[in-house]
């Protein structure tokens, strides 16, 4: 296949839908089976100039399409419910408002039973609180009695112990005084006994001499 012919064929298909892919599928030769051949009689300059003009035409066409798309004004979308342009769909005044849920009226008998149950519960709670207060008062009174008894017993034990300590100190002091008196008496007796012994020895000695 002629190389320039291939290029011209491909360039002609650029402005057609899917022409690029179709050209690749139908016009592209098998590179393994054949090669592009340039004939000696082809005017290369004319072919290149023709290709350049073709490229310029395609570029201008693409630019015009892009400009046309960019210059196309955006058309507002109407409301899909009332077909007006003044508001959005979620702001349409013709949307039906869902009915509000209303709680069904209670049966008077049920209300009466509920009130009675509340009264009974309040009474039970009041009785429980009153009983608890009474128990707390009795417990506090018993604690006070036990505490008073313990304090009284501790005072008695302390007084008894103090009395015993005083008696013991008195006994010790008295015993010490008795010891002192006994020592004095023994000392005096010793003083008295010493002259008598000497006198006896003296008399005995005189009798022996006689």
Residue 193 token pair? 């006994």
Return the pLDDT at 103.
61
CA neighbor of 8 nearest in space, from 67, 60, 50 = 50
Domain boundaries, the chain: 3-71
Backbone phi, psi, residue 2, to 5°: -70, 130
In tens, the pLDDT along 90-132 reads: 777 776 666 666 665 555 566 678 888 888 888 888 888 888 8
Give the pLDDT of residue 21: 47
pLDDT at 36 over 60: no
With 0.75 as the threshold, say if the pTM is over it.
no
Q: pLDDT grade, residue 23 (50/70/90)?
A: very low
């Amino acid at each position: 296949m002629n190389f320039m012919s291939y290029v011209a064929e491909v360039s002609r298909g650029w402005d057609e839908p899917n022409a690029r892919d179709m050209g690749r599928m139908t016009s592209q030769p098998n590179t393994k089976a054949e090669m592009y051949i340039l004939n000696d009689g082809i005017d290369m300059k004319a072919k290149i100039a023709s290709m350049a003009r073709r490229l310029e035409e395609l570029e201008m066409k693409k630019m015009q399409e892009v400009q046309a798309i960019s210059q196309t004004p955006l058309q507002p979308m109407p409301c899909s419910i009332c077909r007006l342009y003044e508001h959005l769909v979620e702001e349409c005044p013709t949307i039906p408002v869902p009915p509000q849920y209303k709680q069904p009226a209670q049966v008077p008998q049920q209300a009466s039973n509920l009130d009675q149950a509340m009264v009974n519960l309040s009474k039970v709670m009041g009785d429980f609180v009153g009983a608890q207060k009474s128990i707390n008062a009795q417990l506090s009174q018993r604690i006070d009695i036990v505490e008073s008894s313990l304090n009284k017993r501790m005072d008695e034990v302390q007084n008894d112990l103090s009395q015993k300590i005083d008696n013991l100190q008195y006994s010790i002091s008295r015993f010490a005084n008795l010891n002192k008196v006994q020592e004095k008496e023994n000392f005096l007796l010793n003083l008295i006994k010493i002259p008598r012994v000497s006198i006896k020895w003296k008399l005995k000695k005189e009798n022996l001499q006689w």
